[in-house]
Amino acid sequence: MIEFKTIGSASTFLDPRRGFSPTTVDFQVRIDPLTGRTCHFSHFGALKAQKLDLPGYERPEVKGFCPFCADKRDRATPKFMPDIIPEGRQMRGEACLIPNLFPYDIHSGVVVMTDDHVVGLSGLTEGCLADSFSLGIDFLQRINSLDLALPYHLMTWNYMPPSGGGLVHPHQQYFATRYPGNQFMDELSGSERFFTARGQNYWHTLIETEVSGNKRYIGTVGKTHWIAPFVSLGLLGEIMCIFPNVFSIRDFREEHIDDLISGLGRVFRFYEAEGIYSFNASLSFGPKNQEHFNCFLRIVPRTFLNLRDFAPDFNFFQAVLSEPVCIVLPEDLCRDIKPYFV
Ligand SMILES: [Zn+2]
């Protein structure tokens, strides 16, 4: 089994809202059972996601120059070297694969997902998601076959300005790398340690544990398992989708894309109902020839704290302490999203 450790505590002060009588407020620190990293849970329910003015992003003075818009794309976006993509760019439906003008690594692609500049969650249809993911995954598989020296593969996604995305126009990044980030490497080495110590795959054990505990297990879609992780990287919680039989990019097939977009559609319907307009997401693939580090998708909502001064939802905790803070307990998030997975 997996040990889920919570340190519950409280702070007491004289509350001006109650005539300066003593008030006690609870908070929690949780320890990620895989990495040992901590996460603060506090300020419960104190914030709501802010509504974004989507039509406002179309106004010329706000929109500025967008290289991803269909009428600009041909002249303003780069093309791949012929040995990578002979035709320069690739299309599937409206999805268009181009190199990243600001690459993260040797092979760094962008999938522009739509022709339209502003597309709300309801516009990210199954067809749009299927075209985008399959184009991006094919690119990762191609660079994997061309360059075996880059062991890790990633899809990353900033959706809408609160997420840090520089362009409103929907797009995803796909790249191969030796350096996939500290979180990824901590999770990879934690998975190796778990496998060596127990002779079990951590992610399979996690699925079994969450299914039987039934507090954070959201549901099954095809062969995928959706959970609200014990520790959340986002202020408004985190949702994770685990692929139990996918380890490296070579294992990812069309059926996995089908399950992924079906589950993502449910998450998006939940986000719409909750007034969530923006998110960060990643889909990560471990090295080949191993069966202890599974592929998973992670998605966290993002929001401005307010629309008066556009304070972001990341602060000193994430910026200089590398500590996630969350105001939603995963068990409550799981209860709220579960009806969308029935
Ligand atoms: Zn655009």
Give the tens place of pLDDT for each residue, 150-166: 999 999 999 999 999 98
Distance in Å, CA 174 to ligand 1 centroid: 19
Which residues of the chain are under the pLDDT cut of 70? none
Same domain for 24 and 62, yes or no, is no
Structural domain total, the chain = 2
Does 46 fall in a domain? no
Nearest of 32, 60, 52 to residue 121 by alpha carbon = 52
pLDDT on residue 83: 94
Let me know the angle formed at the C-alpha of 230 by 38 and 218, rounded to the nearest 5 degrees: 160
Specify the pLDDT at position 233.
97
Flag whether 277 is in a domain. yes
Whether 100 and 173 have beta carbons less than 8 Å apart is answered as yes
Instruction: Report the length, in residues, of the chain.
Output: 342
| Residue 48 falls inside a structural domain | no
141 plus 16 within the same structural domain:
no
Q: Distance, CA 168 to ligand 1 centroid (Å)?
A: 7
How much is the pLDDT for 1?
82
170 inside domain = yes
Beta strands 21-31 and 95-99, pairing class: unpaired
Are residues 28 and 75 located together in one domain of the fold?
no
Distance (Å) from CA 56 to ligand 1 centroid: 13
* Same-domain check for residues 187 and 112: yes
* Partners of residue 243 on adjacent β-strands: 295
Neighbours of 59 (CB within 10 A): 9
Output b/e per residue, 221-238; b: 16+ Cβ within 10 A: beebbbbbbbbbbbbbbb
Instruction: Judge whether 109 lies within some domain.
Output: yes
pLDDT attached to residue 216 = 98
Residue 56 per-residue DSSP state: G
Shared domain for 35 and 100, answered yes or no, is: no
Q: Which one, of 255, 250, 286, lies nearest residue 144 by Cα? A: 250
190 and 229 housed in the same domain:
yes
Does 180 share its domain with 319? yes
User: 171 CA to middle of ligand 1, Å?
Assistant: 10
Q: Separation of 166 CA from ligand 1 center, angstroms?
A: 11
Distance from the CA of 66 to the center of ligand 1, in angstroms?
4
CB atoms within 10 A of CB 45: 9
Per-residue DSSP letter, 275: T
51: which DSSP letter?
Answer: P
Same domain, 88 and 35: no
Is residue 145 in some structural domain?
yes
Residue 46's pLDDT is what? Answer: 82
* Domain containing residue 265: CATH number: 3.30.428.10
- Shared domain for 20 and 90, answered yes or no, is no
Ligand 1 center from residue 115 Cα (angstroms): 8
CA of 97 to the centre of ligand 1 (A): 15
Q: How many CA atoms lie within 13 A of 22 on its CB side?
A: 4
Same-domain check for residues 177 and 256: yes
Task: Tell me, in angstroms, the distance from the centre of ligand 1 to residue 146's CA.
Answer: 31
The torsion angles phi and psi of 58, rounded to 5 degrees, stand at -85, -15
pLDDT at residue 295, as a whole number: 98
Instruction: Please give the distance, rounded to the nearest whole angstrom, from the Cα atom of residue 70 to the centre of ligand 1.
Output: 7
CA distances from 52 to 147, 166, 253 (A): 41, 16, 35
pLDDT in tens, 268-295: 999 999 999 999 999 999 999 999 999 9
Give CA separation, 108 vs 101, 173, 193, 214, in Å.
9, 7, 30, 39
pLDDT value at residue 49:
95
pLDDT at 162: 97
Show Cβ contacts of residue 306 under 8 Å, excluding neighbours closer than 6 positions: 50
Domain extent, residue 129, equals 55-341
Question: 325 and 239: one domain?
Answer: yes
Cα(23) to centroid(ligand 1), Å:
50
Ligand 1 centre distance from Cα of residue 61 (Å): 13
Flag whether 24 is in a domain.
yes
Q: What is the CA radius of gyration of the chain?
A: 21
pLDDT of residue 147: 82
Q: Is 293 found in the same domain as 208?
A: yes
Query: What dihedral do alpha carbons 233, 249, 100, 323 form, nearest 10°?
Result: 10
Ligand 1 centroid – CA 77 distance (Å)? 12
Q: Distance between CA 38 and CA 299 in Å, rounded?
A: 19
Q: Is residue 241 part of a domain?
A: yes
Å from CA of 65 to ligand 1 middle:
8
